[in-house]
């Protein structure tokens, strides 16, 4: 009887060991397959995300190029409009405005603003920076930018004080359209235009 019990215990132990080994091997094989599938999915996901990131980076670069081209076109259009505005008082077409041409243009234009006093009219001397008796496009554009900036400050102050907008500021903003962004070089723009 002891031998049977001992033999049964040994068989049970040995059967448990064999069964445990088989179950352990099945679990290990299943784990390796799942791990391999997860690693494959991880690498596929990383690859897809990298591809998406590259595509988005490419799109961003394309949008930057398109934005730069649009800004450049807008600057050239603004320069064209400003040059055409500059040419309006230039009656003789010599690409410079004399004192007589300037005064005639200012009086004709500002006559549309009856509440504006003559002392508020822009002065030729403000535009003729080099004092040669003529206003070139560069001088004109620089003074326009200064006048617009000054008019905007006056309107802002009037708005803060709760007052009606200044007629001089309105007239100057009508006369002097904003030509360029801050820090823009008029010589480069004018050279590119010509």
Are 156 and 94 within one domain? Answer: yes
Are 94 and 185 within one domain? Answer: yes
DSSP 119: G
For residue range 116-141, list pLDDT tens digits in order: 777 767 788 888 888 888 888 888 88
Asked whether residue 80 is domain-assigned, the answer is no
Are 64 and 92 within one domain? Answer: no
CA distances from 127 to 31, 33, 131, 139, 178 (A): 84, 82, 9, 6, 16
Asked whether residue 116 is domain-assigned, the answer is yes
For residue range 143-193, list pLDDT tens digits in order: 888 888 888 888 888 888 876 655 555 555 555 443 344 444 445 544 544
Entry pTM: 0.49
Range of the domain at 117: 88-193
Are 179 and 136 within one domain? Answer: yes
Other beta carbons less than 10 A from residue 97's beta carbon: 27
CA angle 91, 95, 96 (to 5 degrees): 80
Asked whether residue 76 is domain-assigned, the answer is no
């Amino acid at each position: 009887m002891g031998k049977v019990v001992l033999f049964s215990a040994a068989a049970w132990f040995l059967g448990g060991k064999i069964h445990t080994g088989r179950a352990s091997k099945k679990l290990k094989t299943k784990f390796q397959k799942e791990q391999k599938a997860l690693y494959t999915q991880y690498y596929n996901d990383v690859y897809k995300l990298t591809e998406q990131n590259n595509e988005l980076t490419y799109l961003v670069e394309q949008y930057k190029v398109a934005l730069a081209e649009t800004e450049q076109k807008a600057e050239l259009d603004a320069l064209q409009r400003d040059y055409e505005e500059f040419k309006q008082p230039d009656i003789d077409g010599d690409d410079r405005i004399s004192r007589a041409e300037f005064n005639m243009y200012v009086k004709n234009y500002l006559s549309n603003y009856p509440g504006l006093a003559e002392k508020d009219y822009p002065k030729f001397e403000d535009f003729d920076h080099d004092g040669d008796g003529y206003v070139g496009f560069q001088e004109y554009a620089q003074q326009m930018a200064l006048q617009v900036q000054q008019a905007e400050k006056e309107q802002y102050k009037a708005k803060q004080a709760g007052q009606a907008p200044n007629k001089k500021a309105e007239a100057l903003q009508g006369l002097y359209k904003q030509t360029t962004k801050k820090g823009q070089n008029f010589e480069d723009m004018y050279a590119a235009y010509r």
